[in-house]
């Protein structure tokens, strides 16, 4: 069902354990016969003045050209005069929605076995405006910016996602009882979009109540859409329900069909280079990338192989309580293909 | 050990189920021989121009005079031209810290059995400034304000609380990687105070990571201190871990020794007046009030009676899966005294 002309995709292996888990993805994809040519870009050791960050202009151009990419963890180097790598990518590539499916993995036990939800986070504005200042000594303020354009865009993405993925409900998460203007505008936009999707149930949930409900009964939720910081918080909370960021994939959606799938865990410098890292989050992010490319057959095949390997329990990395190396775990997945 | 001159305390029964659960507190306190005279104040049906809210000036004066009070749920009437009742109380009485102990209740099973932490929330500023405006059509902004004074004050409260309650660690929760100035100032203040408490371990945890850790392993936390909105979110999340807001008490701390204990759950209008409400959160908040008044003996006695009644499991209200009325549950607690 897939084209045989190879697709070119950008790969940011990233720092720390990044190169090892990226190696795992390449191995699994090759074994599954995925028709992808990787264009690899590394984080630079020098600030590129055109991006004001350690990401080179060329690496951003690569994603813009290929419209699809996969990204490992990037540790923002400490120091002044440059921007966070993750934020640079989001802003420069206009990656307006961060999508994180979160579901209980069969065979990997947590306190929850009934999680199956999607968080969709506005990824460009809100509390991440970067606008802050000192009013007088000892009094500082930050600006949270909400725009109609960005809110409609992410709401539209969420409802379209729900509709095309057989989901029944979209919950908009907010604190409009306190931030009536900003979160109020966000909700207004969600309501406008909801009107166009009468087949999808729409509800609004205050963020504090949402967090309480999520830990009590996550099965209550289906698709959640929310402003930037709430998305940051709730997507990590949800990842925690099913085992943490080492197991949960994500994909950033930009304008003009750009998609940058991303493992959102850290670069784990303590275990880097030791063949101990768990590549699951990056592999599952790769699967999201394949689905975006409509390579559904290979996506399903690889997804099943990952899930079955974890469920079987024979090969697991140390973070999941096992003693497998990255390469052994990867090999086990390939054997399941 | 307690004085026999009765203490006068303000009581806001509140709306909905408020009067019924307040009745329960009065019954239990009387049975335990607590030397308190209640000065009752109800939410008005008219806006008091002096408070710009449905809370009368007299009711606020009552708390200022008595310096101690207990508050049930208050539903802010819908409409314009007045302020939220809860926020009016916090601002007018300068209730700068909201303290919520959160612990697993023996005999009441949730997915967690090892929770024992305290959230301490800055209660007057941050994202709750109320300062918002529209920049141009479709672009709105909210101001988050952090001050050195309020941050030092709540940090000091948290460390003093830890020290005087045999707690070992204070975690400051923040997002200073994004809001470097506002959350950065909050952290700076926490660090300054931490220096004065070398016996207390101090750590800083980013809010997204904190939520993930809380759902994976809440036993990692002891005392948490944080800006207003993070406190709103995390205290509800933690309440969810042990069963919800119907079971968790809170106390608001003001300047000059003022303390207003409060059940933070809703007014549950659907079951109001039906003798079905669970008074546990208000009762446990009452216990916090007694501890604040140094009526420790009665506080312990009542606390034990509540815990034992729930643990025994014979009398439980519907929200806990039982079929007891409010009055039967209250009687069971009195019988345990
Ligand atoms: C590293 C940090 C800036 C980032 C964020 O806050 O967005 C991270 O938590 C994430 O979720 O990707
Ligand atoms: C009702 C609401 C304004 C309030 C808040 O956000 O502080 C509530 O959630 C609380 O925690 O007391």
Q: Return the pLDDT at A83.
A: 75
Q: How far apart are CA B243 and CA B319, in angstroms?
A: 10
pLDDT digit string (tens) for A17-37?
Answer: 999 999 999 999 999 999 999
Which candidate from B141, B178, B229 shows the least CB-CB separation from A175? B229
Q: Return the pLDDT at B79.
A: 66
Integer CA distances (angstroms), B72 to A80, A90, B293, in order: 50, 45, 19
Which residues have any ligand 1 atom within 6 Å of their CB? A 84, 86, 232, 264; B 177-178, 208
Q: Is the pLDDT of residue B75 over 90?
A: no
Nearest to A261 by CA among A98, A147, A136, A144: A98
Residues in B closer than 8 angstroms to A137, CB to CB, are 148
Q: How far apart are CA B103 and CA B113, in angstroms?
A: 8
Instruction: Pick from A133, A153, A237, A250 the residue to mutate for testing the B interface (most B CBs within 10 Å).
Output: A237
Instruction: Find the ligand nearest to B206 CA.
Output: 1
- Mutating to test ligand 1, I would choose from A232, A244, A252, A281 the residue with most ligand atoms within 8 A of its C-beta, which is A232
B332: Cβ contacts below 8 Å, ≥ 6 apart = B309, B312, B314, B315, B324
β-strands B201-206, B169-174: how paired?
A: parallel
Query: Measured between CA atoms, how close is A110 to chain B, in angstroms?
Result: 8
Atom of ligand 1 nearest to the CA of B175: 6
Instruction: Find the ligand nearest to A245 CA.
Output: 1
Share of chain A above pLDDT 90, in %: 89
Radius of gyration for the alpha carbons in chain B, expressed in angstroms and rounded: 20
Q: B84 CB under 6 A from ligand 2? A: yes
Tell me the average pLDDT across A208-230: 98
Q: Return the pLDDT at B44.
A: 86
A92, two tokens: 């420069």
Asked whether A95 and A226 are in contact (CB, 8 A), the reply is no
Q: How far apart are CA B204 and CA B187, in angstroms?
A: 8
> Which protein residue's CA is at the shortest distance from atom 1 of ligand 1?
A86
Residue A64 burial (C-beta neighbours within 10 Å; 0-12, 13-18, 19+): middle
CA atoms within 13 A on the CB side of A71: 25
pLDDT digit string (tens) for A107-116?
Answer: 899 999 999 9
pLDDT digit string (tens) for B161-198?
Answer: 999 999 999 999 999 999 999 999 999 999 999 999 99
* Distance from the alpha carbon of residue A99 to the mean position of ligand 1, in angstroms: 13
pLDDT digit string (tens) for B235-284?
Answer: 999 999 999 999 999 999 999 899 999 999 999 999 999 999 999 999 99
Residue B227 burial (C-beta neighbours within 10 Å; 0-12, 13-18, 19+): buried
- Choice among A43-47, A143-147, A207-211, A327-331 with the minimum mean pLDDT: A43-47
Orientation angle between helical segments A207-216 and B228-242, nearest 10 degrees = 20
Cβ–Cβ below 8 Å for B138 and A127: no
Please state the separation of Cα A202 from the chain's center in Å.
23
What is the pLDDT confidence band of residue B291, given thresholds at 50, 70 and 90? very high
Q: Is the pLDDT of residue A243 over 50?
A: yes
For B189, list phi and psi in degrees, rounded to 5.
Answer: -65, -40
Q: A208 CB under 6 A from ligand 2? A: yes
What is the pLDDT confidence band of residue A259, given thresholds at 50, 70 and 90? very high
Cβ–Cβ below 8 Å for A149 and B138: yes
State which residue of chain A sits closest to B78, comparing Cα positions: A177
Query: Measured between CA atoms, how close is B329 to chain A, in angstroms?
Result: 24
Q: Is the pLDDT of residue A3 over 60?
A: no
> Which protein residue's CA is at the shortest distance from atom 1 of ligand 2?
B86
Residues in B closer than 8 angstroms to A139, CB to CB, are 145-148
Cβ–Cβ below 8 Å for B236 and A208: yes
Residues in A closer than 8 angstroms to B132, CB to CB, are 179-182
For B199, list phi and psi in degrees, rounded to 5.
Answer: -80, -15
Q: A177 CB under 6 A from ligand 2? A: yes
Atom of ligand 1 nearest to the CA of B209: 9
> Which protein residue's CA is at the shortest distance from atom 12 of ligand 2?
B264
What is the pLDDT confidence band of residue A1, given thresholds at 50, 70 and 90? very low
- Choice among A331-335, B78-82, B274-278 with the minimum mean pLDDT: B78-82
> Which protein residue's CA is at the shortest distance from atom 5 of ligand 2?
B232
Tell me the average pLDDT across B119-144: 97
Q: Return the pLDDT at A79.
A: 66
Say which residue, B83 or B287, is predicted with more confidence: B287
Instruction: Pick from B73, B208, B219, B250 the residue to mutate for testing the A interface (most A CBs within 10 Å).
Output: B208
pLDDT digit string (tens) for A62-121?
Answer: 999 999 999 999 987 776 667 788 888 998 999 999 999 999 999 899 999 999 999 999
Q: Return the pLDDT at B80.
A: 64
Cβ contacts below 8 Å, chain A against chain B, sum to 159
Helix ranges, chain B (H): 18-31, 57-66, 85-92, 148-164, 182-195, 207-216, 228-242, 280-292, 296-312, 326-336
State which residue of chain A sits closest to B180, comparing Cα positions: A132
Tell me the average pLDDT across B74-100: 85
> Which protein residue's CA is at the shortest distance from atom 6 of ligand 2?
B232
> Which protein residue's CA is at the shortest distance from atom 12 of ligand 1?
A264
Which candidate from A137, A185, A208 shows the least CB-CB separation from B140? A185
Tell me the average pLDDT across A273-285: 98
Q: Considering chain A, what is the average pLDDT of its residues?
A: 95
Q: Return the pLDDT at A75.
A: 85
* Distance from the alpha carbon of residue B192 to the mean position of ligand 1, in angstroms: 27
What is the pLDDT confidence band of residue B1, given thresholds at 50, 70 and 90? very low
Atom of ligand 1 nearest to the CA of B178: 3
State which residue of chain A sits closest to B213, comparing Cα positions: A240
What is the pLDDT confidence band of residue B77, given thresholds at 50, 70 and 90? confident
Tell me the average pLDDT across A151-175: 98
Atom of ligand 2 nearest to the CA of B228: 7
Residues in A closer than 8 angstroms to B177, CB to CB, are 84
Instruction: Pick from B84, B110, B122, B179 the residue to mutate for testing the A interface (most A CBs within 10 Å).
Output: B179
* Distance from the alpha carbon of residue B64 to the mean position of ligand 1, in angstroms: 43
Query: Measured between CA atoms, how close is A179 to chain B, in angstroms?
Result: 7
Q: How far apart are CA A23 and CA A337, in angstroms?
A: 17
State which residue of chain B sits closest to A143, comparing Cα positions: B143
Atom of ligand 2 nearest to the CA of A175: 6
Q: How far apart are CA A89 and CA A62, in angstroms?
A: 12
Atom of ligand 1 nearest to the CA of B177: 3
pLDDT digit string (tens) for A114-136?
Answer: 999 999 999 999 999 999 999 99
Q: Is the pLDDT of residue B85 over 80?
A: yes
B73, two tokens: 């749920």
B100, two tokens: 């919520």
Cβ–Cβ below 8 Å for A211 and B237: yes
Q: Return the pLDDT at A80.
A: 64
Q: Is the pLDDT of residue B308 over 80?
A: yes
- Choice among A236-245, A299-308, B75-84, B101-110 with the minimum mean pLDDT: B75-84
Residues in A closer than 8 angstroms to B128, CB to CB, are 178
């Amino acid at each position: 069902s897939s084209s045989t002309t190879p697709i070119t995709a950008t790969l940011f292996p990233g720092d720390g354990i990044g190169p090892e888990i990226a190696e795992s993805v390449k191995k699994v994809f090759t074994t599954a016969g995925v028709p992808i040519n990787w264009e690899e870009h590394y984080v630079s050791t020098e600030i590129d003045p055109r991006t004001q960050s350690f990401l080179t202009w060329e690496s951003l151009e690569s994603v813009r050209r290929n419209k699809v990419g996969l990204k490992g963890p990037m540790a923002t180097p400490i120091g002044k005069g440059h921007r966070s790598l993750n934020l640079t990518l989001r802003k420069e590539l206009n990656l307006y929605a961060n999508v994180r499916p979160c579901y209980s993995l069969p065979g990997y036990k947590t306190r929850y076995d009934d999680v199956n939800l999607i968080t969709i986070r506005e990824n460009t504005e809100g509390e991440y405006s970067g606008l802050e200042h000192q009013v007088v000594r000892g009094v500082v303020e930050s600006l949270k910016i909400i725009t109609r354009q960005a809110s409609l865009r992410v709401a539209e993405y969420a409802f379209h996602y729900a509709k095309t993925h057989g989901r029944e409900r979209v919950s908009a998460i907010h604190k409009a009882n306190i931030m009536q203007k900003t979160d109020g505008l966000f909700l207004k936009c969600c309501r406008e979009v909801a009107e166009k999707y009468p087949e999808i149930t729409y509800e609004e949930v205050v963020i504090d109540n949402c967090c309480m409900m999520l830990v009590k009964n996550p099965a209550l939720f289906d698709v959640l859409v929310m402003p930037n910081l709430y998305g940051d918080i709730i997507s990590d909370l949800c990842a925690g329900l099913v085992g943490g960021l080492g197991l949960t994939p994500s994909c950033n959606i930009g304008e003009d069909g750009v998609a940058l799938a991303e493992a959102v865990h850290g670069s784990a410098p303590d275990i880097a280079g030791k063949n101990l890292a768990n590549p699951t989050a990056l592999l599952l992010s790769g699967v999201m990338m394949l689905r975006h490319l409509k390579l559904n057959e290979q996506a399903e095949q690889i997804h099943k192989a990952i899930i079955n390997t974890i469920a079987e329990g024979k090969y697991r990395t140390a973070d999941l309580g096992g003693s497998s190396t990255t390469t052994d775990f990867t090999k086990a997945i390939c054997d399941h293909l």
